[in-house]
Structure 1
Amino acid sequence: MGEQNQSSGKELQHRTRAETPGKKLWPSQAYALGAISNFMSTFLTFPVYKVVFRQQIHAVAVSEAVRQLWHEGPRYFYRGIYPPLLSKTLQGTLLFGTYDSLLSLLSPVGPHSLGQRWEAGLMSGVVEAVALSPFERVQNVLQDGRKQARFPSTFSILKEFNSYGFWGRLSRGYYRGFWPVLARNSLGSALYFSFKDPIKEGLEEQGLPHWVPALVSGSVNGTITCLVLYPLIVLVANMQSHIGWQDMPSLWASVKEVWDTRGRKMSLIYRGGSLVILRSSVTWGITTAIHDFLQRKFYTRKEFRD
């Protein structure tokens, strides 16, 4: 019975990879999966993210970051959640759909090589960075407690950005810190998509329930990716917290500033990393498991129709 489940799982996996290019590679189920799972994960883990963000900005301990949020009161507890809710919902739909489309262009018939998965993941991360960087920029300003009096709402931040000239809106406004965002997203997507399937396939051979390999694969990938790229996450948070024409350091000046304020110690760079890595592990584990489950149901129904 276990061997039958393994063979059927491998057959299903082969069919999903070998689909002919076109609309079949863009199932609406995959977009709905990404939207729902990312929306729920963002809402549930937002308090943890906000604590981590305060640590990244002020280099304080968890207790101090929690104390700051407690002192500000419940009114501001979920301040800044709307941009990440929207951006993460878009991220879930955009990331998986773009990756599948690019992978089909690189190799219409599977199985796909590690290099092809890496290249498609890298390019999908680029698309994600271009589309979603403005949302993250607004979110980071909103979550910085030092900006509450000057920018009490999302509208006030957008008004500030739109007061700049065209290039100012891009470089100092919506796309402040874009280059580290680009590096983080493209490398993160490449790592996730390159190793997600090999880990899942190895676990599937053990005869585990079909949702377990996907959950573990997503969690492991989320943990490793976040661990490797965490210094870029800290750099982005610090760069995007700046606003206005004054005191806007360059990329390299921002790198030096973060390094100096952390005492030139990598351990302080990773302060707050344990919580954000844990959140990334849970988020990507759930997302991967739901995506795999819905993908199986989609192709099962397709079999019945055919």
Structure 2
Amino acid sequence: MGEQNDSPGKELQHRTRAEAPGKKSWHSQAYALGAVSNFMSTFLTFPIYKVVFRQQIHAMAVSEAVRQLWHEGPQYFYRGIYPPLLSKTLQGTLLFGTYDSLLCFLSPVGPHTLGHRWAAGLMSGMVEAVALSPFERVQNVLQDGRKQARFPSTFSILKEFNSYGLWGRLSLGYYRGFWPVLARNSLGSALYFSFKDPIQDGLAEQGLPHWVPALVSGSVNGTITCLVLYPLIVLVANMQSHIGWQNMPSLWASAQDVWNTRGRKLLLIYRGGSLVILRSSVTWGLTTAIHDFLQRKSRSRKELKTD
């Protein structure tokens, strides 16, 4: 019984630390596991995401957002899914892969302290923001119902961005709203990775099935992180939905506009928070659980080959 009291999360940490520092097969596989887990969770939760986006843009109730999507017709319901599906798959690849690589660089043989996890999460979020901000930009324009006639496809948006000059393509086109994206992603990644393992380890010690601690840990982390950073999420959605080079509002002007249109009330900034809780819980719960499941399967296959 004494040997079986170690939680699955601690067992993973012990085995990871026991591996030779020069052995990179486990760490390189983190990129593939992150890609698969994010792809699956994004596809399953896209309908929730689209309703939340409409709330952030139009400051409407859940029922109104659902009614708006219903009136547009089923042919438009999954409009805009390809950019987030691609970007979230790349996000999982970068987020889990670079985090694992950076963590091993900061602490090759362990133990991984809270400071190590925070620093690795912060840097992996920065890499993610630089690489994926253009995808989110295109996605937010596609999902804005006010722009369906002018920009019916991804190609039409790319054509618009490419008509700007070099600096305009970056600042007004693909990287519109980059600074709040950088703050949101880096802080969100740091929070997620800092507290994921402690929560998962604590639940695993209760003797629960393997998938329960991962699901609950991801759900709790996703919910708390999104609620803390929700004002940045709203700001990014509003900044990136704007298109056209004339009179493009600055970061400060965009923040003031969001604050004023929400009646200068924090409660209205958080309008749509109920769906954000649901989306974050489901998305990060599924992502963490799928990632943990694939990780265990991969380790089991490797152990069978070495026996």
Same fold (TM over 0.5): yes
Give the equivalent residue in structure 2 for 1:24.
25
Instruction: Tell whether the 8 Å contact from 2:56 to 2:234 is kept in structure 1 after alignment.
Output: yes
Instruction: Tell whether the 8 Å contact from 2:125 to 2:190 is kept in structure 1 after alignment.
Output: yes
Give the equivalent residue in structure 2 for 1:226.
226
Q: Deviations over 1:57-100 (max 9, x none)?
A: 11111111112112211121111111001001111111100000
The total of aligned residue pairs comes to 304
**Structure-2 separation of matches of 1:94 and 1:166:** 26
Give the equivalent residue in structure 2 for 1:7.
6
Q: Which runs of 4+ in 1 moved over 4 A?
A: none
**Structure-1 separation of matches of 2:214 and 2:22:** 24
Structure 1 position 170 matched with structure 2 position 176: no
**Structure-1 separation of matches of 2:7 and 2:212:** 16
1:8–1:66 Cα change, 3 Å: closer
Q: Deviations over 1:35-68 (max 9, x none)?
A: 2222222222212111111111111111111121
1:270–1:21 Cα change, 3 Å: farther
Q: CA deviation at 1:27?
A: 3.8
Give the equivalent residue in structure 2 for 1:185.
185
Name the Cα RMSD after superposition: 1.5
- Ranges in structure 2 where 5+ consecutive residues have no aligned partner: none
TM-score of the two chains, using structure 1 as the length reference: 0.95
Instruction: Tell whether the 8 Å contact from 2:84 to 2:135 is kept in structure 1 after alignment.
Output: yes
Give the equivalent residue in structure 2 for 1:75.
75
Give the equivalent residue in structure 1 for 2:258.
258
Q: Quick one: percent identity of the two aligned structures?
A: 86
3-state SS in 2 of match to 1:7: coil
**Structure-1 separation of matches of 2:22 and 2:114:** 19
Give the equivalent residue in structure 1 for 2:91.
91
Instruction: Tell whether the 8 Å contact from 1:25 to 1:100 is kept in structure 2 after alignment.
Output: no
Give the equivalent residue in structure 2 for 1:196.
196
Q: Deviations over 1:173-232 (max 9, x none)?
A: 000000000000000000000000111111122121222111111111011101101110
Give the equivalent residue in structure 1 for 2:130.
130
Q: CA deviation at 1:21?
A: 4.2
1:164–1:18 Cα change, 3 Å: farther
Give the letter aligned to residue 123 of structure 1.
M
3-state SS in 1 of match to 2:229: helix
Give the letter aligned to residue 287 of structure 2.
T
Of the structure 1 ranges 251-260 and 58-67, higher mean CA displacement relative to structure 2 is found in 58-67
**Structure-2 separation of matches of 1:229 and 1:243:** 24
Q: CA deviation at 1:24?
A: 2.6
**Structure-1 separation of matches of 2:178 and 2:162:** 18
Q: Deviations over 1:123-147 (max 9, x none)?
A: 0000000010000000000011111
3-state SS in 2 of match to 1:37: helix
**Structure-2 separation of matches of 1:12 and 1:248:** 49
- Ranges in structure 1 where 5+ consecutive residues have no aligned partner: none
3-state SS in 2 of match to 1:26: helix
**Structure-2 separation of matches of 1:305 and 1:105:** 27
TM-score of the two chains, using structure 2 as the length reference: 0.94
Give the letter aligned to residue 135 of structure 1.
F
Q: CA deviation at 1:150?
A: 0.8
Of the structure 1 ranges 13-22 and 152-161, higher mean CA displacement relative to structure 2 is found in 13-22
1:17–1:278 Cα change, 3 Å: farther
Instruction: Tell whether the 8 Å contact from 2:37 to 2:288 is kept in structure 1 after alignment.
Output: no
3-state SS in 2 of match to 1:208: coil
1:17–1:255 Cα change, 3 Å: farther
1:135–1:60 Cα change, 3 Å: same
Give the letter aligned to residue 286 of structure 1.
L
3-state SS in 2 of match to 1:129: helix
**Structure-2 separation of matches of 1:22 and 1:256:** 51
Q: Deviations over 1:19-42 (max 9, x none)?
A: 3245234243x3333222222222
**Structure-2 separation of matches of 1:248 and 1:25:** 46
**Structure-1 separation of matches of 2:7 and 2:203:** 15
Q: CA deviation at 1:7?
A: 3.0
**Structure-2 separation of matches of 1:8 and 1:214:** 12
**Structure-2 separation of matches of 1:65 and 1:52:** 8
Give the equivalent residue in structure 2 for 1:142.
142
1:5–1:289 Cα change, 3 Å: farther
